[in-house]
């Protein structure tokens, strides 16, 4: 039986996949070969001379095996192939949920890109990033800006590389975002109209209504979102000496950088971001009822940059 292949374009890369990824926007089959192929098959049991070897993880610079609780195993090879070995009990939904996390993060690092754990806006031909730990409101923030007429560029993950003139460039990502139930209600959206990200979580997958797929914009500014219940809302400029550490802190799957042997590529991009891009820390409350007031203050600061 010949399997049907699906074709996608995101983060500046073309993908050919044997598993359908409805979270992504499909494109027509390209004449040239895809940058990345996602295939079902049999993964290696052991990697040769792995730098890291654990029960569920083996790493060499160009080859990574990662197993998820005997549900599925992924082998990520040279930044251009992801091999999926599935078990009978695992569903396509479970595979997609896992695939769009660590395996893609590893793939991007193998390709020498910097995946920043951030959501972003496209503003006057530039990208404005909102980074932070899980749960700090990255998606909620860009969604609130969207309600004011701004365009969402990426959600949860922003892929960055350097242009020919060493300008940090961000690429459009997944055409969906993930919002908590309370955020949907706050913005007058009914959760019943969306699919849950996970059966055990009140977080929903929401399409991003924009035409920015395949676009790339220079990075203009990075905001770091943090919760603080001890002080009122604050906007604090990050000192130059802190910037590199903060960028590394918010790099997606940063623990893989050294064993993948991409330290020099990461350092080049992170250093350039630290040298040329203003970074601002946003200290905010968790009270969603104050969201609009907080967005007013961020928007006022943002207008100084664009």
**pLDDT, tens only, 169-207:** 999 888 787 888 888 888 788 888 888 877 777 888 887
Number of folded domains in the chain? 2
- Same structural domain for residues 41 and 118? no
Among residues 110, 137, 169, which one ends one of the domains? 110
- Same structural domain for residues 60 and 96? yes
- Spell out a b/e string for 48-59, using b for 16 or more CB atoms within 10 Å of the CB, else e: eebeeeeeeebb
Structure tokens at 254: 């940063």
User: Which helix (H) or strand (E) segment is 264 a member of?
Assistant: helix 263-276
Residue 159 lies in a domain: yes
- Same structural domain for residues 157 and 245? yes
Among residues 110, 133, 152, which one ends one of the domains? 110
pLDDT per position in the chain (306 positions), as tens? 446 899 998 888 999 999 998 877 788 776 678 999 999 999 999 999 999 898 889 999 899 999 987 789 999 999 999 999 988 778 888 898 889 889 999 999 999 999 999 999 999 999 999 999 888 889 889 988 988 999 999 888 999 999 999 999 999 888 787 888 888 888 788 888 888 877 777 888 887 876 667 789 999 999 999 987 766 788 899 999 999 999 999 999 999 999 999 999 999 999 999 999 999 999 887 777 778 888 888 888 888 766
- Same structural domain for residues 33 and 177? no
- Same structural domain for residues 273 and 138? yes
Structure tokens at 192: 């019943």
Among residues 110, 139, 159, which one ends one of the domains? 110
> Residue 187 gets which letter from DSSP?
T
- Same structural domain for residues 125 and 156? yes
- Same structural domain for residues 118 and 193? yes
- Same structural domain for residues 90 and 220? no
Residue 1 lies in a domain: no
- Same structural domain for residues 124 and 258? yes
> Residue 3 gets which letter from DSSP?
P
- Same structural domain for residues 236 and 175? yes
- Same structural domain for residues 55 and 182? no
117, 251 Cβ separation under 8 angstroms? yes
Q: For the domain that residue 203 is a member of, what is the CATH number? A: 3.40.50
Sole residue written with tokens 């971001």 = 273
Domain containing 190: what range?
Answer: 114-302
């Amino acid at each position: 039986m010949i399997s049907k292949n699906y074709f996608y374009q995101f983060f500046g890369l073309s993908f050919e996949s044997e598993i359908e990824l409805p979270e992504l926007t499909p494109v027509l089959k390209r004449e040239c070969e895809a940058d990345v192929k996602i295939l079902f098959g049999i993964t290696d049991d052991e990697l040769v001379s792995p730098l890291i070897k654990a029960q569920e993880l083996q790493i060499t610079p160009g080859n990574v095996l990662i197993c998820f609780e005997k549900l599925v195993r992924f082998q990520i090879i040279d930044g251009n192939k992801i091999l999926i070995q599935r078990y009978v009990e695992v569903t396509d939904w479970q595979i997609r949920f896992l695939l769009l996390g660590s395996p893609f993060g590893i793939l991007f690092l193998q390709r020498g890109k910097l995946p920043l754990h951030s959501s972003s806006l496209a503003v006057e031909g530039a990208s404005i990033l909102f980074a932070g730990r899980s749960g700090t409101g990255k998606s909620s923030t860009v969604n609130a800006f969207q309600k004011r007429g701004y365009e969402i560029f990426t959600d949860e993950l922003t892929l960055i590389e350097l242009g020919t003139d060493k300008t940090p460039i961000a690429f459009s990502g997944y055409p969906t975002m993930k919002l908590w139930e309370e955020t949907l209600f706050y913005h007058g959206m009914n959760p019943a109209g969306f699919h849950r990200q996970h059966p055990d979580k009140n977080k929903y997958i929401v399409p991003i209504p924009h035409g920015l797929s395949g676009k790339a914009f220079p990075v203009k500014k990075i905001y770091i979102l943090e919760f603080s219940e001890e002080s009122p809302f604050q906007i604090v400029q990050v000192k130059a000496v802190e910037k590199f550490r903060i960028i590394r802190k918010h790099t997606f799957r940063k623990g893989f950088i050294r064993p993948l042997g991409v330290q020099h590529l990461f350092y080049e991009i992170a250093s350039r971001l630290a040298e040329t891009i203003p970074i601002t820390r946003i200290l905010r409350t968790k009270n969603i009822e104050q969201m609009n007031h907080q967005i007013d203050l961020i928007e006022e600061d943002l207008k100084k940059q664009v």
